[in-house]
Amino acid sequence: MSRLTTHVLDLFHGKPAQGVLLRLCRPESKEILFEGRTDADGRAACASSGRPDLPAGRYELLFAIGSYFARAGVRQDDPPFLEEIVIRFGMSGEATPYHLPLLVTPWSYTTYRGR
């Protein structure tokens, strides 16, 4: 069982991305395991209450980034170039933490596995 956290950094404004809607689910079933928003520091622990650890398997983490930039007043095309970012990844189930940072602008993003 592993814990999953994320940190969203808004490179366009040079600050943490507060209030980004997140959704963690299983890609096969689309079962939602967590839904929430990033805090004032752009961080979130992706776990449901009473279930902080996740078993081994494949997951997808959705970031509703288009609505975040719209709320921040960034002029975007209609529809936005990046409306939702979905990252599909696997977790081995070892008792190591998984940290999935997202560095984002309205037109680009990068991610990696942190610890």
Q: Domain map of the chain by residue range?
A: 4-111
| Token couple for 60 | 């997808």
To which H or E segment does residue 65 belong? helix 65-71
pLDDT of amino acid 53: 81
Contacts of 15 (CB under 8 A, 6+ apart): 9, 42
Q: 59 near 92, Cβ under 8 Å?
A: no
Q: Which CATH class is domain 4-111?
A: mainly beta
Within the chain, which residues score under 70 in pLDDT? 1, 48-52
Short-list 30, 48, 46, CA closest to 38: 46
3-state DSSP call for residue 69? helix
Query: What confidence tens digit (pLDDT) does each residue in 31-63 have?
Result: 899 999 999 999 999 876 666 688 889 999 999
Neighbours of 31 (CB within 10 A): 9
DSSP at 54? B
d(CA 50, CA 28): 23
Q: Scanning the structure block, which residue is given the tokens 């069982």?
A: 1
pLDDT of amino acid 96: 80
3-state DSSP call for residue 103? strand
